[in-house]
Every structure is written in structure tokens, then in C-alpha cells.
Amino acid sequence: MPPDMPRGGPRAARWDRLFETDRDEYIDRPGSPARCRRVLRGLDRFQRLTLGYRTCARLTAAALAAAPGPVPDPFADPFAGPRVLELGAGCGRLSYALLRRLPTAHVTASDVNPRVVDALRAGPLGRHPRAACAVVDATAIDAPAGAYDVAVMAMSLHHLPPAGVAALLREGTRVARTLLLVDGWRHPLSLASVPLMFLTGGPAQAHDGLISLRKVYAAAAVRALAGQCGAPVRVDTRFAPPGYLVATATRSPDVPAAAVPSRPRIRK
């Protein structure tokens, strides 16, 4: 797959290609830890103010209800409730919102950064009986096929290059019956939210927010990458207000699935 595929998709318009940027956000620069912390705090405030966590939790619950295949009976087996994997959990607020919204679900909050996972374990998620925290690379998930009912990545897809998105689609649909991706909707009008990002996180958050909005993937790009990911993945995309791209990915039902192992009990 071409590494320079436009974020707007293979047939992106000229204005979209000019709109795109390859600049790194502070959150992706290992040499800027102080600015990274400020951005993360500002991003958390922004998501709480705009009800982003609530929206993503609602979308995840809907994806769980619509996931193909049987849903375990929590009354027959207390450890057989629905299992959700959050990829790129960050501060963990979405995972905690899912635990409140889904009273029988077991949620694994994961991130590729070990320091982020250590912070999650030291917080409320580390003490929750239905939660686990783990270091997970979303492009190479160390879990058996069918280990989760839903895997969700919210507001982080744009951090991955095209090859990483393809690997995420392949891996996410392998370990989960449904992979849910939620990110910003690609359109110049979305830049109107940058002043609010400045108010919630200052110049650092506005800097990263502006870059993020120019790096988010269009629906056409996600569908194209699904076709190049090396697995029979089907992707349905849609717009969700006020400005989200929602992509639901599943393995094609006409391809035989691998045997699904028994579900292990979540351990801290």
C-alpha cells in the first residue's frame, strides 16, 4: 500500500491534499513531555465539555448490541459478560464511562505507552472489579481471535499512518467481533472548534487540535485501507453529530472464522 495515500482517500480533491499536513503533534513528540501533559489535560477538558466521552460510550454500546454472534449470558457465568477492549485509552475516561453504562461488561483499557497504562492502573480503573489495564499495540494486538465482543478506538485514529490503520483494521477485527473507530469528520469547517480547544487547553492544545483536524481520515480512506489490509474486512462509515466519523468494521461473514477460544477471566 502506498505510504503517501492521502488522508482524504485515493481520489482526494486537490484542496483536500493541500489541507493535509505531515506535522507532528506535541502528543506524538517524545521530546516534549511537559507540552504533552498540557495537551492531554486540555483534550480531556474538551471531551468532557463537548460530551465526547458520552457520545463514544453510546456508540460503543450500540456497536455491542449490534455485534454479530451470540451474546454471553452473565447470569449463567459471571465472567461471561460482554468484553470490550479500548485501544489508545489515554486518561481512561471512556473505559470508565463504559463500565457505568454497561453494568455487566468487562472492559480492558489499553495504550501503547507503558507510562499511560501505569497511570491507569493507579487510578479508578485499576481498582474496578470489571476492568483491566494493559499495554497493547493496536497494530499488533497480543490476544487470541475472538477474545472481545467490541474493540473501540476513539479520537486516536489520525495518529496512525495509513499502514498502521490497515494493520489496526486487520488486528481489531481479528480479536473482536466488531471494531469501532470514532474520530473527527474531515472537513475544513471543523477548524471552527480550534478556538474552543484554545480555551480548554491553551496554545499547546490548539496547536495539536489544528494538526489533528488536518490529519483525520476521510470515510473513503478508511474504506480503501480496509480493502488493502490483507483480511476480509467490511467497513461501514457514517457521520455522527456534531462532527464525528464513525467506522464499524467486521470480518466478512462469508469467510470461515477461526475457532474462538473460551473467554479467560480478566486479571489485573
End-to-end CA distance of the chain: 38
Task: Please give the pLDDT value at position 263.
Answer: 40
Question: Please, are residues 7 and 216 in contact by the beta-carbon 8 Å criterion?
Answer: yes
Share of residues in the chain with pLDDT > 70 (%): 88
Residue 65, CB-side half-sphere exposure with 13 Å CA sphere: 8
pLDDT digits (tens, 9 = 90+) for 22-79: 999 998 887 778 888 889 899 999 999 999 999 999 999 999 998 766 555 544 455 5
Across the range 232-248, mean pLDDT stands at 96
- pLDDT range class, residue 266, cuts 50, 70, 90: very low
pLDDT digits (tens, 9 = 90+) for 161-183: 999 999 999 999 999 999 999 99
Question: Please, are residues 67 and 178 in contact by the beta-carbon 8 Å criterion?
Answer: yes
State the Cα–Cα distance between residues 59 and 53, nearest whole angstrom. 10
